[in-house]
């Protein structure tokens, strides 16, 4: 069979493409469908690109490490949405626009303040995004491109405010306050003191940038799938937030830090990992669908951002508990690389990010909301891009494995009752 597939693909010259087609044909022949849509291209997009074999991620062509090193949150917002990095003037304009749009309508902040504290922040966030639709009565009109840009920026601007109002139980959270940058405002939501320390803002901004887009991941695919029914930006972004909350996607950062705490000491790491693997359980923060080598975002976090917090020359102070968790994480990395490198599994971005977020004083249940504050740039860009293409609604197929067609069998009494009713 494999030889026949190779014959079929003999005209495909690009070796990478050939390998992709080969995988798809063999999967179809073997399984009859594509579990998890693995390897299946579902859209054409010019926003970001991953080379999983070589550990490369680019936003609009720029490697993510360079963007994290030299750019601001506003730059990445502009780059992803409009396609290029802004001039200084454009960056300032965008920043002003975000700050002009950041405050929530009173009706929405009132509802958010009343929301139950037991509601997970991710579900609070998705519900609140839907509430924002009330101030956009034209939301069903999705093909007014200028309006779509404004809608996108409006959502980006309001996301941290939703979190600030809920977390602080303050309907007027940050109203009238001024900030130097949007990343500073995002950090202010979680730690007003650290938000005035430039080093912490720098660290936080890099985390947001690293999360900003990542091709057709589960939450971005949710945006595209919902958008393909021509549903509103609110419906599409809310569905993305819900997708991101899952432990196999963005929710892994919350689980990873809990795992470090559960392990307690670097000495316990080896036995913990061995037991997990023996029970065939997943180690949170490890593995990725696309990367067959170290994820470049994860590598940047490990080599560039973590030393800013935990390194010997760090200008940021962290306590002993944090240092212990950092040591545990490093030991897990070592054990995982030893035991699982054959499966090409490496720590992903969610493995390292929680250490920094915890050092900032953010509660683990809020970790995934910070992922969302970064990723909303990508989600909005994908929604806008989607509304510009010649859309075809996502409507895949299934292989039915249920019961064959059958009929309701009535007994004599039921049959006569039905017949009489019919008369």
Window contacting ligand ACO (CB under 6 A); options: 98-106, 278-286, 388-396, 408-416: 278-286
- Shortest distance in whole angstroms from residue 221 CB to ligand ACO: 12
CA distance linking residue 337 with residue 186, whole number of Å: 34
Of 337, 244, 239, 245, the C-alpha closest to 283 is: 337
Spell 187-207 as b/e; 16+ CB within 10 A means b: bbbbeeebbeeeebbebbbbb
Which of 159, 113, 150, 166 minimizes the C-alpha distance to 132? 159
Q: How far is CA 276 from the centre of its chain?
A: 26
Torsion over CA of 323, 324, 325 and 329, rounded to 10 degrees? 100
Q: Out of 2, 198, 282, 388, which residue is the one contacting ligand ACO (CB under 6 A)? A: 282
Give DSSP secondary structure letters for 135-177.
Answer: G-TTTT----HHHHHHHHHHHHHHHHHHHHHHHHT-TTTTTT-
Q: Compose the 35-74 pattern: x for residues touching ligand ACO by CB under 6 A, - for all others.
A: -x--------------------------------------
Q: Is 252 in the site for ligand ACO (CB under 6 A)?
A: yes
Q: Is 289 in the site for ligand ACO (CB under 6 A)?
A: yes
Task: Return the SS3 of 368.
Answer: helix
d(CA 120, CA 186): 19
User: SS3 of 355, please?
Assistant: helix
Shortest Cβ 201–ligand ACO spacing (Å) = 23
Judged by CB, which is closer to ligand ACO: 156, or 286? Answer: 286
Nearer to ligand ACO, 173 or 379 (CB): 379
Q: Specify the residue, 227 or 349, whose C-beta has the smaller distance to ligand ACO.
A: 349
Q: Write out the H or E segment, with its range, that includes residue 422.
A: helix 412-422
When asked if residue 288 is in the footprint of ligand ACO (CB under 6 A), the reply is: yes
> How many CB atoms sit inside 10 A of residue 318's CB?
17
Q: What angle do CA 307, 57, 273 make, to 5 degrees?
A: 55
Question: Should residue 287 be labelled a site residue for ligand ACO when binding is judged by CB under 6 A?
Answer: yes
Instruction: Identify the active-site residue in 288, 295, 382, 386.
Output: 288
297 part of the interface to ligand ACO, by CB under 6 A? no
Distance of alpha carbon 178 from alpha carbon 250, whole angstroms: 30
Question: Which residue number, 2 or 282, has a Cβ lying nearer to ligand ACO?
Answer: 282
Q: Under the criterion CB under 6 A, does residue 132 sit at the interface with ligand ACO?
A: no
Q: Assess 343 for contact with ligand ACO (CB under 6 A).
A: yes
Contacts of 48 (CB under 8 A, 6+ apart): 57, 58, 59, 60, 80, 213, 214, 215, 378
Q: Choosing from 213, 350, 382, 386, which is the catalytic residue?
A: 350
148 binds ligand ACO (CB under 6 A): no
Q: Is position 348 an interface residue for ligand ACO (rule: CB under 6 A)?
A: yes
User: Cβ 277 to ligand ACO, closest distance in Å?
Assistant: 6
For residue 249, state whether it binds ligand ACO (rule: CB under 6 A).
Answer: yes
Question: Closest CB to ligand ACO belongs to which residue?
Answer: 287
Between 203 and 283, name the residue whose CB sits nearer to ligand ACO.
283
Query: Minimum Å distance from CB 156 to ligand ACO?
Result: 19
Name the minimum Å distance from CB 77 to ligand ACO: 20
**Whether 288 is catalytic:** yes
Q: How far is the CB of 109 from ligand ACO (least distance, A)?
A: 30
Cβ distance 361 to 174 under 8 Å? no
Reading phi first (left if > 0) and then psi (alpha if -120 to 50, else beta), residue 114 is in alpha
CB-wise, 102 or 224, nearer to ligand ACO? Answer: 224
Measured between alpha carbons, how far is 388 from 292 in angstroms, rounded to an integer? Answer: 33
Smallest gap from residue 283 Cβ to ligand ACO (A): 4
Residue from the set 108, 125, 283, 362 that interacts with ligand ACO by CB under 6 A: 283
Residue 349 engages ligand ACO in binding (rule: CB under 6 A): yes
Query: Nearer Cβ to ligand ACO, position 133 or 242?
Result: 242
Annotated active-site residue 350? The verdict is yes
Residues contacting ligand ACO: total by CB under 6 A: 18
The DSSP element (H or E) to which 275 belongs, if any, is: helix 269-278
The verdict on 301 binding ligand ACO (CB under 6 A) reads no
Is the CB of residue 202 less than 8 Å from the CB of residue 70?
no
State the catalytic residues.
288, 350
Q: By the criterion CB under 6 A, which residues form the site for ligand ACO?
A: 36, 248-250, 252, 282-289, 343, 345, 348-350
């Amino acid at each position: 069979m494999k030889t026949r597939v190779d014959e079929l693909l003999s005209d495909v010259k690009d070796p990478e493409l050939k390998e992709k087609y080969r995988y798809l044909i063999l999967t179809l022949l073997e399984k009859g469908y594509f579990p998890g849509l693995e390897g299946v291209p579902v859209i054409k997009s010019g926003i970001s690109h991953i080379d999983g074999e070589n550990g490369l991620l680019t936003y609009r062509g720029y490697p993510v490490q360079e963007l994290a090193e030299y750019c601001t949150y506003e730059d990445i917002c502009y780059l992803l949405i409009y396609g290029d990095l802004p001039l200084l003037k454009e960056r300032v304009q965008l920043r002003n626009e975000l700050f002009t749009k950041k405050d929530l309508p009173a009706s929405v902040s009132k509802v958010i303040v009343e929301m139950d504290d037991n509601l997970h922040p991710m579900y609070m966030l998705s519900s609140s995004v839907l509430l924002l639709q009330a101030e956009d009565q034209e939301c069903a009109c999705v093909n007014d491109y200028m309006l779509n840009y404004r809608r996108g920026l409006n959502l980006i601007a309001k996301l941290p405010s939703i979190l600030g109002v809920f977390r602080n139980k303050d309907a007027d959270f940050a109203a009238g306050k001024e900030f130097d940058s949007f990343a500073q405002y995002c950090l202010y939501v979680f730690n007003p003191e650290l938000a005035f320390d430039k080093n912490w803002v720098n660290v936080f901004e890099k985390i947001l940038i690293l999360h900003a887009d990542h091709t057709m991941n589960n939450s971005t695919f949710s945006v595209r799938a919902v958008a393909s029914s021509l549903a509103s930006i609110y419906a599409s972004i809310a569905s993305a937030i819900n997708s991101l909350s899952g432990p196999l996607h963005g929710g892994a950062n919350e689980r990873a830090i809990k795992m470090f705490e559960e392990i307690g000491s670097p000495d316990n790491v080896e036995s913990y990992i061995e037991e997990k693997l023996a029970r065939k359980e997943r180690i949170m923060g490890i593995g990725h669908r696309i990367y067959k080598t170290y994820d470049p975002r994860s590598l940047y976090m490990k080599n560039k951002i973590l030393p800013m917090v935990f390194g010997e020359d760090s200008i940021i102070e962290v306590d002993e508990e944090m240092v212990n968790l950092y040591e545990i994480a490093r030991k897990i990395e070592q054990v995982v690389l030893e035991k699982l490198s054959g499966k090409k599994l490496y720590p992903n971005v969610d493995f390292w990010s929680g250490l920094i977020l915890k050092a900032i004083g953010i509660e683990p249940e809020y970790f995934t909301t910070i992922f969302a504050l970064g990723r909303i740039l990508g989600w909005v860009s994908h929604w806008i891009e989607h509304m510009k293409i010649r859309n075809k609604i996502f409507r895949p197929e299934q292989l039915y494995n249920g019961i064959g067609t059958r009929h309701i069998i009535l007994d004599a009494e039921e049959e006569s009752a039905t017949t009489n009713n019919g008369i």
